[in-house]
Amino acid sequence: MNPGPLSYVLVSAFGIGAVVSGWLVFRTDSMLRAAYWLMVSFVSVGAMLVVLDAQFLGLILILMMSGEMTIMAIFMIMFMMNPAGLNPMTMVHQHRTSIIAGVGSFLVLAWVGVMAEFPNLPATTADPTVDLGEELLGRSMLIFESAGVALLAVMIGAIALVAKQGRFGDAYDGSQEPDIEVGTGSRT
């Protein structure tokens, strides 16, 4: 399919949206807003992929991000020194290092994007999702299966650590009130 002028406009608009909302992540003083500005940024990238005819990839990205960003928001609020995260607080630190790292990685990625010679591989079927499936389970199967097994190992490890009968003992230990029995001094 030949991209029309509307595609160029939409891709540019979503691209600018992704960059601006990524910038806003650091301009807000609320952890919830920061997490969801980051989600808006990812959703814009997903929308760009949809406009570029990679519907499946773009929509899966949006689908995954809703859960991931909520989990991130909860963890951010949980581990911050600011209980419940309800009070405003500054979201940035180590200014010089982060500015150098940010500008540096932007330049490297932009250089790769502009200078690299990408292979000219037009879609072989009408539906790019079919191409994607054949790529995942064909030529690139080893890469994705290795990544899949690695992720599975991480998941099993995480469950082993947090399970009720995990390696650190009964998860309910210490989380339940002791029995009220005067004189015994401990849980029975």
Partner 1 sequence: MTALGILAQVAVTLVGGAYVFTVADRLMSASGTGVRSALVYPVRRLSFLLLQPVTTTERPDFSAWILATALLPALAAVGAVAIPIAGPSAGGDISAGLVLFGAAMLVVLVAVFIFGWAPNSVFPMIGGYRFAAVVLSIGIPFSLVVLTTAIPAESLSVGVIVESQSNLWYLVVQPLGFVIYLITAAAIAFWGPFDLPEGADLAGGIVVEASGVRLAMWRFGRAALMVTLSLMGQAVFLGGYLGPVLPGWLWTVIKTAILLVLLALTGRTLARMRVQRFVWFGWVVLLPLALVDVFVSGWLAL
Q: Which residues bind partner 1 (CB under 8 A)?
A: 30, 32-33, 36, 39, 55-56, 59-60, 62-63, 66-67, 69-71, 73-74, 84, 86, 127, 129
Q: Which is nearer to partner 1, 52 or 74 (CB)?
A: 74
What element of type H or E holds 5?
helix 5-24
∠ CA 55-60-65 to the nearest 5 degrees? Answer: 135
Please say which residue, 13 or 40, places its beta carbon nearer to partner 1: 40
Distance, CA of 71 to CA of 126 (rounded, Å):
37
Q: To which H or E segment does residue 135 belong?
A: helix 128-136
Which one, 90 or 120, has the nearer CB to partner 1? Answer: 90
Compute the distance between CA of residue 57 and CA of residue 46 in angstroms, rounded to an integer: 7
Nearest distance, CB of residue 121 and partner 1, angstroms: 20
| CB of 41 closer than 8 Å to CB of 18 | yes
- State the minimum distance, in angstroms, from the CB of residue 58 to partner 1: 9
39 vs 51, which CB is nearer to partner 1? 39
Q: How far is the CB of 70 from partner 1 (least distance, A)?
A: 5
